[in-house]
């Protein structure tokens, strides 16, 4: 069986139960915080796949990275324990991805990535978010990233669509027009 199908089964089962218990948004938020923690601390991912780290330590790490008290008992915490007991912690990032995509699909949420060369004011991000909401008639979850390689301008990703208005992209287009063989 493919790893993706294992993750999808776990995510789907959790999502269905979370909807039935009306805690799907809560789990969505916990998964969001956990994913951000995993990005910020690569050692967390390493600890999860390390066979020397006990299930209890992994469980405590996951709860803390999710912003929860280790004493909490919820569907989310029971799910994490089940995942660890079945030795599926290596599937966690994919499970998070699948769950969050299912949630966004159900609640008509577009994930927008706004990438700029330098940090921009929150007012600009909010204006962009409002414009996208008005145009697409959907909720928007906007993530801002800073990428100095863009030189200037911005890149925008809305779902599967990508828009590149960066100086780097414009310079690359000019280079290709002037020197098509390079």
Give the three-state DSSP class for 16: helix
Residue 8 forms beta bridges with which residues?
none
User: H-helix or E-strand containing 49?
Assistant: helix 42-49
Each residue's pLDDT, cut to its tens digit, for the chain (182 residues) gives 445 699 999 999 999 999 999 999 999 999 999 999 999 998 998 999 999 999 999 999 999 999 887 777 789 999 999 999 999 999 999 999 999 999 999 999 999 999 999 999 999 999 999 999 999 999 999 999 999 999 999 999 998 899 999 999 999 999 998 988 76
Which pair of tokens denotes residue 43? 């050692």
Query: What is d(CA 180, CA 178) in angstroms, rounded to the nearest whole number?
Result: 6
Query: What is d(CA 31, CA 68) in angstroms, rounded to the nearest whole number?
Result: 11
Give the sheet arrangement for strand 153-158, strand by strand: 139-146, 109-116, 153-158, 161-166
> What residue ranges do the domains of the chain occupy?
3-104, 108-178
Give the three-state DSSP class for 87: coil
Buried b / exposed e across 2-29, counting CB within 10 Å, b at 16+? eeeebbbebbeebbeebeeeeebeebbe
Predicted TM-score (pTM) of the model is: 0.81
Domain 3-104: which topology? Peroxidase; domain 1 (1.10.520)
Which pair of tokens denotes residue 127? 């204006």
pLDDT of residue 4: 66
pLDDT of residue 1: 43
């Amino acid at each position: 069986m493919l790893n993706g199908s294992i993750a999808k089964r776990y995510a789907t089962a959790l999502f269905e139960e979370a909807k039935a218990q009306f805690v799907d948004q809560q789990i969505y938020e916990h998964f969001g915080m956990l994913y951000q923690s995993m990005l910020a601390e690569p050692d967390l991912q390493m600890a999860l796949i390390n066979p020397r780290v006990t299930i209890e330590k992994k469980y405590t790490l996951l709860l803390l990275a999710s912003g929860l008290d280790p004493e909490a008992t919820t569907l989310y915490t029971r799910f994490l324990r089940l995942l660890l007991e079945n030795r599926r912690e290596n599937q966690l990032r994919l499970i998070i991805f699948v769950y969050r995509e299912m949630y966004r699909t159900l609640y008509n949420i577009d994930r927008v990535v706004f990438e700029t060369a330098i940090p921009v004011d929150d007012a600009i991000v909010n204006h962009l978010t409002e414009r996208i909401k008005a145009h697409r008639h959907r909720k928007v979850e906007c993530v801002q990233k800073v990428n100095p390689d863009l030189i200037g301008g911005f890149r925008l990703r809305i779902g599967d669509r990508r828009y590149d208005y960066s100086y780097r992209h414009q310079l690359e287009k000019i280079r290709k027009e002037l020197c098509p063989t390079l």
